[in-house]
Amino acid sequence: MVGFPGDILCFDTTSKAIVAQKSAYLANTVGVQMDIFFQKKIGAGLFGGEGFIMQKFSGSGKVFLEINGSYVEYNLAAGESMFIDTGYLAAMEDTCSMDIETVKGVGNVLLGGEGLFNTKVTGPGKIWLQTMPANILAGAVQPYIVTNG
């Protein structure tokens, strides 16, 4: 998204390929290959905030990605999983896998405010979480926008 406040991250794709949300791409050096990355599990594609199609960056070079808001980097050990509210996963090393889990408990679904699904990312590998996905910011600001009509 052009003009959205956030951070720019630089990744060296020589050692590890990076998978990122499709709106994150900003620029790359010569030697980086950009491919479409399809989620292997249909649930992750249909219900995950990251969408069915993501981008994979590999090869030998640097890629620059735009992260909405600030970011937190986390290293998942082999077999370690993290549950993330959909839309907050900005990027991950391609050694990680992603799936969608249904939020358990009627109270959590109705009163939790987080929706019906969470993104489950399993290591090994690093993940980058963004603090303010554009759709979340739009929803937070929308009640304060005055419209005539």
Domain containing 76 — which CATH number?
3.60.160.10
pLDDT of residue 1: 44
- Convert the pLDDT of each residue in 49-86 to its tens digit: 445 578 999 999 999 999 988 999 999 999 999 998 87
146 inside domain: no
67 inside domain: yes
Which pLDDT band holds residue 8 (cuts at 50, 70, 90)?
very high
Is residue 42 pLDDT above 50, yes or no? yes
Contact 58, 14 (CB under 8 A): no
147 inside domain: no
149 inside domain: no
Q: Which two three-digit tokens encode residue 63?
A: 């890629």
Contact 16, 95 (CB under 8 A): yes
105 inside domain: yes
**Boundaries of domain holding 93:** 8-131
Closest CA to 2 of 33, 35, 24: 24
CB atoms inside a 10 Å sphere around CB 117: 19
- Convert the pLDDT of each residue in 111-146 to its tens digit: 545 556 788 899 999 999 998 876 666 666 778 888
148 inside domain: no
- Alpha-carbon distance 135 to 116, whole Å? 16
Q: How many helices (H) and strands (E) does the chain have?
A: 3, 12
84 inside domain: yes
Contact 60, 31 (CB under 8 A): yes
145 inside domain: no
Counting the structural domains of the chain, the total is: 1
- Alpha-carbon distance 109 to 129, whole Å? 22
Question: Do strands 25-28 and 62-68 pair parallel, antiparallel, or not at all (unpaired)?
Answer: antiparallel
